[in-house]
Structure 1
Amino acid sequence: MQLATVEYGIKSKWGVEMVSDYTFNEIFDEYHPKILRYLTRIVGPDDAEDLSQEVFDKISRGLSRFQGKSSLSTWIYRIATNTAIDRSRSTAYKYGKTHHPFEDEKSHESSDVTVAPTSPVTDQLVIRKEMSDCVNEFIDNLPPDYRTVIVLGEMEGFANKEIAQILGISLENAKIRLHRARATLKNALREGCDFYYSEGNTLACDRKQIQILPKTPS
């Protein structure tokens, strides 16, 4: 494979040089832990490692064609998301896993939907990195499209415009999807958790205990 001429390129183990001011090795070192964590949340730990290898193989092959129309991180996360969607929709994955496949954009969003401003209560209930594992379990149980947008917005810190670019949808639909995902998460958390603030003033939760009433004599 002929390598591109760059200002200071270092050949990676994939045999590809970086575009602009970064080498592929630098991109891999910076983004691999993030993408592995992201994919773990989206498809589960069993598939995340294999998918991350596939993602960076695609990055290595597509890097010379990257034109900078979006930020590098947005481009990388879009590749990762599309790779996860492809896996989710594959026959083997759909029949071998309990996850539901990703839905198409039109099945989720409509331009007729009005997105209300996010309330402070919703902000408090939305996942943060410091929250307890209890909340993370509710994130993991969201439908795939909702789980993805919550992870991108609340855990990876992407703005709505970047989320739209990553998911390949309009900005309006990105806002709608995030609004619905937050509402779904908020309702699930209210039904299943008791909330409190930890010693570090971080919102956390404990699962509600299901009360089993004694049987009445017949």
Structure 2
Amino acid sequence: MRFQQVYYEYQGKILRYLTRMVGENEAEDLTQEVFVKIGQALETFRGESSLSTWIYQIATNAALDKLRHPFNCHAGGKLLPVEAITETKEDENIWTGEVMASTEQRVIRQEMNGCIREIIQTLPETYRSVIVLSELEGLSDAEIADILGLTLQATKIRLHRARARLRKELSSACIFYRDDRQEFACDRKAAQAD
């Protein structure tokens, strides 16, 4: 496969993935670094895993290196704005892929998605990476294991723990309910005074 084809097919996906991992301020530069590495190594790709897995592995390693760098603090300490991680369709829900029916519904979903993304950003990097790869990028456990260099069993355990931690963080930060249309919704809990 030629580099131009790889770039065209994966650039948007990797930019979105890296935005979820390191934040908007770092994602564009990091995406370019990833594609430079891909361009340099594409001829030596042996096909031991799928091309997609190989590309995500390069992107994940770059993101983890960036997150471990002592001068990096989640995009300069800023949480991601709601607009930073939208899918290719402007009104598409990141969890279900469905297009929102009304402006009100879209705003509520954007707020809810933004809240969830903020909580994901606070997870430890090991949990954040498996949550993003599984729940937001839609990769299989086996693909995630290849990308992260873990056994399948270790990946399943980490994903289970990450989901449990995310569930705990969400339940401590949000109130979940069904709205008047019987759709799932949440609101932030009021901050408790110490």
Q: Which moved more, 1:190-199 or 1:28-37?
A: 190-199
Q: Which residue of 1 aligns with 2:40?
A: 61
Q: 1:172 to 1:56 in 2, by over 3 A?
A: same
- 2:13 is aligned to 34
Counterpart Cα distance in 1 of 2:34 and 2:150: 20
Query: Structure 1 residues 60, 191: closer, same or farther in 2, change over 3 A?
Result: same
**Secondary structure of 1:195's aligned partner:** strand
Question: Given the two structures, how large is their TM-score scaled by the length of structure 1?
Answer: 0.68
Where 1:70 maps in the other structure, the secondary structure is coil
| Structure 2: distance between partners of 1:201 and 1:71 | 41
Cα distance in 2 for partners of 1:208, 1:29 equals 42
Say how many residue pairs are matched: 164
1:34-53 per-residue CA deviation (whole Å, 9 max, x = no partner) reads 11111111111111111000
Spell out the pairing of 1:38-117 with structure 2 (5 A cutoff). Answer: 38-93=17-72, 97=76
Q: Select 1:128's aligned residue among 95, 99, 104.
A: 95
Match for residue 144 of structure 1?
125
Q: Indicate the residue corresponding to 1:120 in structure 2.
A: none
2:146 corresponds to which residue? Answer: 165
Q: 2:19, 2:26 within 8 Å by CA — same for their partners in 1?
A: yes
How much does 1:128 deviate? 2.2
Contact 1:28 1:56 in 2 (8 A): yes
Secondary structure of the structure 2 residue equivalent to 1:93:
coil
Deviation at 1:97, TM superposition (A): 5.0
Q: Does 1:185 align with 2:166?
A: yes
Q: Secondary structure at the match of 1:92?
A: coil
Higher Rg: 1
Change (3 A) 1:89 1:137: closer
Which runs of no fewer than 5 residues in structure 1 stay unpaired? 1-21, 100-126, 214-218
Amino acid at match of 2:119: F
How far did 1:204 drift?
Answer: 3.4
Q: Is the 8 A contact 1:135 1:204 kept in 2?
A: no
- Alpha-carbon spacing, 1:204–1:70, altered in 2? closer, same or farther (3 Å): farther
Query: What TM-score, normalized to structure 2?
Result: 0.76
Structure 2 gap segments, 5+ residues each: 79-93, 98-108
**Do 1:134 and 1:205's aligned partners in 2 also have CA atoms closer than 8 Å?**
no
- From the two aligned structures, give the one with the greater helix fraction: 2
Shift of 1:211: 5.9
RMSD of Structure 2 on Structure 1 (CA): 2.5
Deviation string for 1:158-217 (max 9, x for gaps)?
Answer: 11111000001111110111000000000111111111346887633211123669xxxx
